[in-house]
Amino acid sequence: MSFSERVYRVVARIPGGRVMSYSGVASLAGSPGASRAVGTLMARNPRPGTGPGKIPCHRVVRSDGSLGGFSGPGGREAKRALLEGEGVAFRKGRIVRDFFA
């Protein structure tokens, strides 16, 4: 299985209302230190969204709790709205640590 397939599989398993850092995804995909590559893959997500067969790339954030990028319509504001809609809480512009998977 390729690195990209492993990354998309990890991200597909992040439950609603939870987030994971780019570096956490890279580690679980077997390539610690490949967090930038994870970001690139999220920007190229072939199946964005939630539900069966989808890859919820909006749930991948920076390890400091800030949002990071979002190439979907609406940019970072849309990413934040999606996460808040799933119940993820923010404090001082960053995701509360309790919401990290």
Give the whole-angstrom CA distance, residue 17 versus residue 31: 25
| Catalytic-role residue among 20, 57, 60, 95 | 57
Q: 57 catalytic, yes or no? A: yes
Q: Which residues are catalytic?
A: 57
